[in-house]
């Protein structure tokens, strides 16, 4: 039985995604969130270890200096900003 395909991601390649599913990363993330339980941008509980410099833009995956705790909503809006940043130079969508 073939699994149903998810919608294709047109704007982002899923190259590094599998690294987030390793045992090593989950274990690291759990430890990190225990030490850093509060979101760096608001005061909600952090649920995500975010890469300050995104891995796909050249950030180091395992560099602890490149990690910060974020809640899901801050992480989503940060990812959105990063996606925008790549096209901001070519297109102006504010006019």
Which residue is listed with tokens 């699994």?
3
Using CB under 5 A as the binding rule, the residues of this chain from 27 to 46 that contact Zn ion are 39, 41-42, 44
- Given 50, 69, 71, 78, the residue binding Zn ion (CB under 5 A): 71
49 vs 26: CA distance, rounded Å: 10
Partner residues linked to 32 by β-bridges: none
Using CB under 5 A as the binding rule, the residues of this chain from 73 to 92 that contact Zn ion are 74
Partner residues linked to 68 by β-bridges: 50
Judged by CB under 5 A, does residue 49 bind Zn ion? no
Contacts with Zn ion: how many residues (CB under 5 A)? 6
Q: Pull the structure tokens for residue 65.
A: 């200096």
Site residues (vs Zn ion, CB under 5 A): 39, 41-42, 44, 71, 74
């Amino acid at each position: 039985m073939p699994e149903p395909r998810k919608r294709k991601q047109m704007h982002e390649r899923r190259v590094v995604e599998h690294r987030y599913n390793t045992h090593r990363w989950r274990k690291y993330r759990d430890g990190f969130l225990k030490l850093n339980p509060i979101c760096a941008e608001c005061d909600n509980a952090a649920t995500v270890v975010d890469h300050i410099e995104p891995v796909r833009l050249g950030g180091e995956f395992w560099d602890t200096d490149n990690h910060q705790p974020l809640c899901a909503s801050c992480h989503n809006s940060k990812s959105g900003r990063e996606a925008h940043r790549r096209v901001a130079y070519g297109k102006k969508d504010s006019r």
